[in-house]
């Protein structure tokens, strides 16, 4: 069974919310006794005079970080605000480290990821003043911030640092929680084998030390892993185990997230009534706990299921609530996805104007996010370039000074050597300039090709959109008017039937042209989804096609996605037209430094005289544009293998 891209994307979204609820390995939820203790600590500190506060500061901070739990507490923020005037993070003192430790985690709870990372980095400068459990806590905070900003490699680095410290201090019993955290990050990358490996480790370690909380986390993670691999029965079995633990312990926040996961599982199986039941249960629990993250997700999920079951008015009400809460959270990635869901919703209920309005919002926000990343990369390159220029200038000045001193001290004896040296330098400079100019020309030529390709892609998108929204909409309206006229006629004429048939064919042709110009699956969901759709549209009697990929939901650069998609299209056309093949196998695998696309058929092979046909020339040109490597392995009656390697 294949999943839709919307379903896959939302399963991973649930994982993201789960991670924040899993940061503490010693507490299941915020307890009344802890809140009372924190309030007492705040009152005691505020009532002290300045001298007493300064003397008691270290002890207050040590208590505060021990009391810091899951959830956003007004008391903790108030305590931090009271302490901050007494802190000077330029001093290397333990109180400053503890303040930054608690502050960064509190900023994480408030979804202020950039601030949390900044304060976490400052706290690491005080690493020698920390205790092992505090340092593990800090690395967990930093890793979680990276996870929420989709910096998975950095998240893993911080979690592995926490694991090293924990392994060196086994009396802390922290390994199950860290294994669970690592598993969640691997789930975010789509590496289900690694995710299952670390989840199994978490289960074993949690059982060994009788840690019920981390065992529950591992059970939930295992359920999601089975769901993503298509084993829905096992997934539901593990989810229900996890839900029973949460309900038994009274952990309503985690139970709400578990209901969301069960709903997603049922939606994957197209059991919409049961999915809606689970989503509603999760939303009700999230509302009762005022868990805004789960509420925002819950409204989106319930809204989509209300739409799937035909209740569009109620669906729109829930969608609007979900968007409003997502805006309040300030999570632009989730807001971008919410706009995209609304665009799809309006498109399916034949409201193209509203669909276009939300698609533009989605597109603009996505471009803003991508643009900021590009600007940041450019800024980093500029800093490196300026630093290198200054170093070169200093080296040049130093060299000139040395040469000047040599000239003054040994002017008569060294004059000839100096002339020779200057000549050599000039020659090297000329050669260097020629090489630099050649490289610059090559670079400009490549940039021009890229610009042309990107312009063509954008123009294809615009034309496809115009065909779909303008001409497609007009044809649909015309057809509707013809249908109404036909219903008013007692006996529709053959001419009327013929006109309706022609109009239907024209509408389908416009839709197909729009799709060929810029496939909607590619723009919305990426290369893997687009190739799946391309193969699903093949006539089963025509060829047996299979596609495997480890790419998951991770998106490539837009230029690479469209060029690789066109390569697959071109190869598929060649196979269907010329190969007389019965089977086609396509494999797309991402490695550390490159992406490999292999297309194999069992047809009659490529004769030597045809290896430079138009189709293969087009493929070679696209591979060259991506700075890749292209090879062909073929022989008569032995089929053909196209192997393409693209740097990432």
d(CA 527, CA 142): 31
CA dihedral (303, 305, 310, 316) in degrees, to 10, reads: 10
CA–chain centroid gap for 172, Å, is 33
Confidence band (pLDDT; 50, 70, 90) for 393? Answer: low
pLDDT at 49 over 60: yes
d(CA 383, CA 253): 45
- Environment class of 22 (CB within 10 Å of its CB; exposed 0-12, middle 13-18, buried 19+): buried
* CA angle (75 as vertex; 74, 77 as ends), nearest 5: 65
Over residues 238-247, the mean pLDDT reads 81
Over residues 605-615, the mean pLDDT reads 64
What three-state secondary structure class fits 552? Answer: coil
Quote the pLDDT of residue 24: 37
- Name which of 329, 267, 270 is nearest 302 in CA terms: 267
What percentage of residues in the chain have a pLDDT greater than 90?
A: 8
d(CA 362, CA 356): 10
Point out the least confidently predicted range of 3-7, 109-113, 136-140: 3-7
Strands 544-549 and 583-590: parallel
pLDDT at 597 over 80: yes
Quote the pLDDT of residue 161: 93
pLDDT at 427 over 90: no
Sign of the dihedral defined by the CA atoms of residues 144, 148, 149, 151, in that order: positive
User: For 599, phi and psi rounded to 5 degrees?
Assistant: -125, 120
More confident residue, 554 or 452: 554
Most confident region among 24-38, 229-243, 475-489, 598-612 by mean pLDDT: 229-243
- Name which of 293, 299, 288 is nearest 251 in CA terms: 288
The predicted-structure confidence for 624-646, as pLDDT tens digits, reads as follows: 878 888 888 888 878 898 889 88
User: Which residues are paired to 584 by β-bridges?
Assistant: 545, 601
The predicted-structure confidence for 251-281, as pLDDT tens digits, reads as follows: 777 787 788 888 888 887 888 888 888 888 8
Q: Which two tokens stand for residue 15?
A: 């994982």
pLDDT at 609 over 70: no
Quote the pLDDT of residue 395: 57
d(CA 14, CA 606): 48
Place of tokens 């799946």: 532
Q: Which two tokens stand for residue 377?
A: 């990369």
Quote the pLDDT of residue 312: 87
What three-state secondary structure class fits 544? Answer: strand
- Environment class of 159 (CB within 10 Å of its CB; exposed 0-12, middle 13-18, buried 19+): buried
Q: What is the pTM of this model?
A: 0.46
User: For 13, phi and psi rounded to 5 degrees?
Assistant: -65, -40
Q: Which two tokens stand for residue 234?
A: 């096992």
The predicted-structure confidence for 302-351, as pLDDT tens digits, reads as follows: 888 888 888 888 888 888 888 888 887 777 777 887 888 788 888 888 88
CA–chain centroid gap for 633, Å, is 35
Over residues 405-417, the mean pLDDT reads 60
603 C-beta neighbours (distance < 10 Å), count: 22
**Considering just the CA atoms, what is the radius of gyration of the chain in Å?**
31
Confidence band (pLDDT; 50, 70, 90) for 46? Answer: low
């Amino acid at each position: 069974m294949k999943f839709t891209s919307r379903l896959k994307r939302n399963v991973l979204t649930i994982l993201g919310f789960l991670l924040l609820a899993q940061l503490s390995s010693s507490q299941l939820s915020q307890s009344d006794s802890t809140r009372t203790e924190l309030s007492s600590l705040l009152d005691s500190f505020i009532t002290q005079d300045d001298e007493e506060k300064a003397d008691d500061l270290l002890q207050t901070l040590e208590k505060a970080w021990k009391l810091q739990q899951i959830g956003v507490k007004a008391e903790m923020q108030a305590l931090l605000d009271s302490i901050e005037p007494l802190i000077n993070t330029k001093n290397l003192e333990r109180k400053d480290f503890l303040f930054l430790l608690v502050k960064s985690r509190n900023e994480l709870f408030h979804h202020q990821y950039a601030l949390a990372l900044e304060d976490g980095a400052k706290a690491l400068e005080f690493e020698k003043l920390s205790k092992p459990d505090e340092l593990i806590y800090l690395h967990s905070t930093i890793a979680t911030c990276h996870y929420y900003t989709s910096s998975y490699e950095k998240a893993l680095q911080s979690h592995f640092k926490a694991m090293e410290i924990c392994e060196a201090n086994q009396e802390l019993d922290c390994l199950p929680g860290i294994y669970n955290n690592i598993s969640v990050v691997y789930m975010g990358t789509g590496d289900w084998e690694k995710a299952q490996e670390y989840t199994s480790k978490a289960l074993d370690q949690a059982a060994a030390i009788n840690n019920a909380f981390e065992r529950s986390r591992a059970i939930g993670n295992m359920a999601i892993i089975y769901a993503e691999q298509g084993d829905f029965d096992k997934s539901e079995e593990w989810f229900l185990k996890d839900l029973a633990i949460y309900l038994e312990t009274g952990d309503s926040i985690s139970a709400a997230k578990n209901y969301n996961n069960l709903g997603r599982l049922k939606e994957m199986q197209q059991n919409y009534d049961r999915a809606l039941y689970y989503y509603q249960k999760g939303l009700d629990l999230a509302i009762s706990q005022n868990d805004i993250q789960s509420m925002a997700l819950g409204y989106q999920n319930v809204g989509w299921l209300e739409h799937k079951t035909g209740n569009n008015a109620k669906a729109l009400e829930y969608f609007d609530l979900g968007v409003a809460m997502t805006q309040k959270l300030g999570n632009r990635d989730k807001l971008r996805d919410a706009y995209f869901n609304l665009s799809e919703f309006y498109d399916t209920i034949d409201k193209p104007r509203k669909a276009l309005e939300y698609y533009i919002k989605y597109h603009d926000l996505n471009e803003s996010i991508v643009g900021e990343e590009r600007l940041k990369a450019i800024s980093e390159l500029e800093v490196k370039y300026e630093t290198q220029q200054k170093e070169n200038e200093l080296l040049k000045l130093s060299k000139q000074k040395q040469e000047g001193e040599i000239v003054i001290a040994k002017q008569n004896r060294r004059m000839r050597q100096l002339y020779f040296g200057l000549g050599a330098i000039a020659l090297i400079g000329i050669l260097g300039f020629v090489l630099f100019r050649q490289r610059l020309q090559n670079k400009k030529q490549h940039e021009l090709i890229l610009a042309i390709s990107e312009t063509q892609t954008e123009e294809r998108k615009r034309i496809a959109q115009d065909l779909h929204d303008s001409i497609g909409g007009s044809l649909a309206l015309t057809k509707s008017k013809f249908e109404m006229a036909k219903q008013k006629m007692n006996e529709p004429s053959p001419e009327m039937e013929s006109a309706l048939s022609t109009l239907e064919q024209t509408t389908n042709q416009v839709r197909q042209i729009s799709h060929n110009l810029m496939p909607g699956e590619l723009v919305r969901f990426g290369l893997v989804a687009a190739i799946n759709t391309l193969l699903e549209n093949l006539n089963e009697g025509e060829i047996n096609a299979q596609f495997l990929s480890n790419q998951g939901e991770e998106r490539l650069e837009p230029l690479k996605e469209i060029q690789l998609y066109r390569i697959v299209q071109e190869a598929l056309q060649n196979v269907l037209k010329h190969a007389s093949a019965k089977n086609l196998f396509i494999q797309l695998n991402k490695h550390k430094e490159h992406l490999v696309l292999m297309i194999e058929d069992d047809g009659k092979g490529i004769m030597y005289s045809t290896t430079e046909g138009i189709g293969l020339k087009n493929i070679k040109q696209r591979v060259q544009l991506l700075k890749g490597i292209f090879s062909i392995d073929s022989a008569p009656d032995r089929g053909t293998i196209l192997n393409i390697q693209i740097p990432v």
